[in-house]
Structure 1
Amino acid sequence: MPTTVLAAGDHFVLPRLLTEELRNAVPEHGALDIRELRLPWPHTPFGKVAEVDEASGTEEELIEALRGSRICVTQMAPLTERVLRACPELELFCVSRGGPVNANLEAATRHGVAVCYAPGRNAVATAEHTLALILAAARGVGDVHTDLKRGTWRGDTYDYDNCGIEIDGSTIGLVGFGAIGSRVARALAAMGATVLVHDPYVRPDAVAGVARLVSLEELLTRSRIVSLHARVTDETRGMIGHDRIASMPRGAVLVNCARGALVDYDAVCDALDAGHLGGAGFDVYPTEPVPAESRLLTTPGIMLTPHIAGASREVAHKAARIVAAEVARFLRGEPLAHCANALAPVTPLCRSGPAMAGPGSARP
């Protein structure tokens, strides 16, 4: 009897991409009964749905679409306590993102549902976008682009005090050396930069030949450009505020393509207005979309993009491919590669109940 799978895509990771990769990963096409649902993201911003964050769609539509499904592959669908109670057939929920923030892991574990995710799916795209923002912010591209579109030729940008800085020969600090930060480090080193890294989860030998591991304080005081690549935790939330910005060299540049909660953006605007920071580039914000009254929209020296660092067609395909591979492992009764709630796989022949397999995997 075919296994019923819901491919709950959106306008980025399309339902048809999920379906195509599922059929590629499970050659026995007749073994799957795939249903499709399209969620409204990004045409409608994601948000909180019941107890989960960064989700798209409603509990009601997901419950209806999931009826009879053992497996769901998605990017943004909300896996909540209510959804889990209403869908007892569900056994595997695959989130095609770097972390399953739209899934209630505790509730999923109680209901015996394994939750998978897709680490590294957007590492290349985000690293490339980070480099774009570093280059643009270091050379003041945002402001002169806006002025030129309005008909103003900014000849004053050749004034010595208004010139930007080069990557070659600069000391650049990266806070975080995961899949994204390590790629940015290699690219910057190839461009001639001296790269410093702060990451308490990384050993010095892991950065050897590319960068040097230092304390956060040393990184901030020495770097002309600082780029953030950390996850939001109790330790990192608001980590870059007034005091730490003040410790950076005058004219330094700050870039954030990680998470908006890492930075006090009012402190950044204050430092730009005072001339302490020379520029900034941001792709993520505390509130998205950015409110119309935000100082980020009016403070000179900031290059802004609307949370698109991970937006490439390749990312959509990679995301679908990673979760489809998890479905194939699940159906073969093999261990799941990226299970966030550490549930052992359930054999497709007989659901005898999941067993705990020890602590979860490393940071996604």
Structure 2
Amino acid sequence: MTIRVLAAGDHFVQNRLLIDAIRHAVPGEVDFRELTLPWPVVPFGRVGEVDEASDVEEELIEALRGVEVCVTQMAPLTKRVLDASPDLRLFCVSRGGPVNANLEAAARAGVAVTFAPGRNAVATAEHTLAMLLAATRRIPRTHADLAAGVWRGDYYTYDNVGPELEGNTVGLVGYGAIGRRVARMLEGFGANVLVHDPYVDAPNSVGLPELLERSLFVSLHARATPETAGLIGAAQIAAMPRGSVLVNCARGALLDYDALCDALGSGHLFGAAMDVFPEEPIPQGSRLLTAPNLVMTPHLAGASKETAMKAAAIVAADVARYVRGEPLAHVATP
């Protein structure tokens, strides 16, 4: 029996990766349709009632006519799309969480939604470590001076140099797939690692106040939930040792960015590195654009060729389970 699949990829998780992975995983005939979404050239946003999606409802509805399975990263599975797509039965989101899918509406419509946990764990862990080192050793700032023809010997003065990882304590807030990898990397540097995660039985686990008080470096790896919104604010940053470094490659909602800018401006924080922000893209006039000793990247910690290939392989495996009538491995709908 031929199954009709819509590959709604983008410029990162490309259609060719999705199609090749499904062809490898699914025996028999597959009738593919393709729709290329504009992300990341065009930023994602809120579409209808879902978040972090490409604004392509009209195009998606047209492409889903007669389609049973959709594999995508950024397509918006809204109630409107579901109502217009009676043949759809499986919607595979090739990212760590299906935030671009209305799970309740999908369940009512009899559509299973799957996702791809752990797809970017290695890339994000590596990027976190790179950001931590870049902020501590002030690599972007010194590079910019050299590129402008300025040699600043004062960077070598005692008050301007940063601490080493070896022998110092790094606190990880969140200990999932990414946090665990960061911990292993840090142990290779000779750092002492503390962990705060109320949902995980982790070694060297402590409460958040103790972690902040004892850690010269703090890196955020928690999920964005109502419980973790604003987890790190002015009081928490003030509890960190003076001269410490804060890194966030998780979610912008975890951190009070005004408090971050205040702490950088006062010198309480030696430096910080951010890959995620409260508003993306960062608006003109934001304090983040002028904050001292801040390293920033545009939400690309999880960006690697391997991430895209893993994402395609994970969703393709669930498409294969669906075709064989087996339980789905990473289903998000009830």
TM-score, structure 1 as length reference: 0.91
1:213 aligns with one of 205, 209, 212: 205
The separation in 2 between residues aligned to 1:259 and 1:149, in whole angstroms, is: 32
Match of 1:77 in 2: 75
Q: CA deviation at 1:27?
A: 2.8
- Counterparts in 2 of 1:313-324, with a 5 A limit? 313-324=305-316
Gaps of 5+ in 2: none
Give the aligned partner of residue 301 of structure 2: 309
CA-CA distance at 1:105 after TM superposition: 0.1
What displacement does 1:62 show? Answer: 0.2
Q: How many residues align?
A: 334
Match of 1:266 in 2: 258
Q: Secondary structure at the match of 1:38?
A: coil
The CA deviation string for residues 201-220 of structure 1, in whole angstroms up to 9 with x for no partner, is 1114xx3xxxx100000000
Residue 121 of structure 1: aligned partner: 119
Shift of 1:149: 1.9
Inter-partner Cα distance in structure 2 for 1:141 and 1:284: 19
**Structure 2 Cα separation of the partners of residues 103 and 305 of structure 1:** 26
* 1:330 shift after superposition: 0.3
8 Å CA contact 1:143–1:302 kept in 2: the answer is: no
8 A contact 2:136–2:271 mirrored in 1: yes
Q: Give, in angstroms, the shift of residue 64 of structure 1.
A: 0.2
1:211-290 correspondence to structure 2 within 5 Å: 212-290=204-282
Deviations 1:217-241 (A, max 9, x none): 0000010000000011122111111
Contact 2:6/2:69 (<8 A) preserved: yes
Find 1:56's aligned residue among 30, 43, 54: 54
String of CA shifts for 1:27-81, please: whole Å, max 9, x gaps.
32x2x10111100000100001110000013211000000000000000000000
Question: Following TM superposition, where does structure 1 have runs of at least 4 consecutive aligned residues deviating by more than 3 angstroms?
Answer: none
Aligned with residue 44 of structure 1, among 42, 45, 49 = 42
The alignment's TM-score, normalised by the length of structure 2, stands at 0.99
- Structure 2 counterpart of 1:21, which letter? A
User: How many angstroms apart in 2 are the aligned matches of 1:149 and 1:65?
Assistant: 48
* Equivalent pair of 1:125/1:310 in contact (CA under 8 Å): yes
Aligned match of 2:148 in 147, 150, 154?
150
**Would you say 1:19 and 2:16 are equivalent positions?**
no
Q: 2:140 & 2:233 partners in 1: Cα distance? A: 23
Provide the residue aligned with 2:134 in structure 1: 136
User: Retained in 2: the 8 A contact 1:98–1:120?
Assistant: yes
Amino acid at match of 2:166: D
- Per the alignment, residue 104 of structure 1 pairs with 102
Find the aligned partners of 1:229 and 1:246 in 2 and give their Cα distance: 20
Paired amino acid for 1:72: C
Contact map agreement 2:45 2:55 (CA 8 A) in 1:
no
Deviation string, structure 1 residues 85-127 (Cα, Å, up to 9, x no partner): 0000000000000000000000000000000000000000000
Matched to 2:73, the amino acid is: Q
Is the Cα contact below 8 Å between 1:142 and 1:302 reproduced in 2?
no
Q: How much does 1:144 deviate? A: 1.5
Aligned residue for 1:355? none
- Asked if the contact 1:260–1:285 (Cα under 8 Å) also holds between the matched residues in 2, the reply is yes
Partner in structure 1 of residue 291 of structure 2: 299
The superposition leaves residues 282-316 of structure 1 with CA deviations (integer Å, 9 ceiling, x where unpaired) of 00001111112111111110011111101001111
Kindly indicate whether residue 327 of structure 2 is the aligned counterpart of residue 335 of structure 1.
yes
Report the aligned-residue RMSD.
0.8
Match of 1:238, SS state, is: coil
Cα deviations by residue, 1:133-182 (Å, 9 ceiling, x for unpaired): 01111112222122222222121111000011111011000000000000
137-146 or 190-199, larger mean C-alpha shift: 137-146
Instruction: Give the counterpart letter for 1:38 in structure 2.
Output: T
Q: Matched residues in 1 for 2:293 and 2:260: separation? A: 10
For the Cα contact (< 8 Å) 2:274–2:297, is it kept in 1?
Answer: yes
Q: Give the one of 183, 186, 189 matched to 2:187.
A: 189
Q: Extract unaligned runs of 5+ from structure 1.
A: 343-364
Q: Could you tell me how far apart the structure 2 residues matched to 1:254 and 1:62 are?
A: 40
Alpha-carbon contact 1:143-1:300 (below 8 Å) kept: no
- 3-state SS of the aligned residue for 2:145? helix
Q: Which amino acid aligns with 2:4?
A: T
Partner of 1:244, secondary structure, is: helix
Instruction: Quote the sequence identity (%).
Output: 68
SS state at 1:213 partner: coil
Say if 2:186 and 2:193, in contact at 8 Å, map to a contact too. yes
Q: Matched residues in 2 for 1:138 and 1:173: separation?
A: 15
User: Does 1:325 pair with 2:325?
Assistant: no
Take 1:164 and 1:2, find their aligned partners in 2: how far apart are those partners? 61
Aligned residue in 2 for 1:67: 65
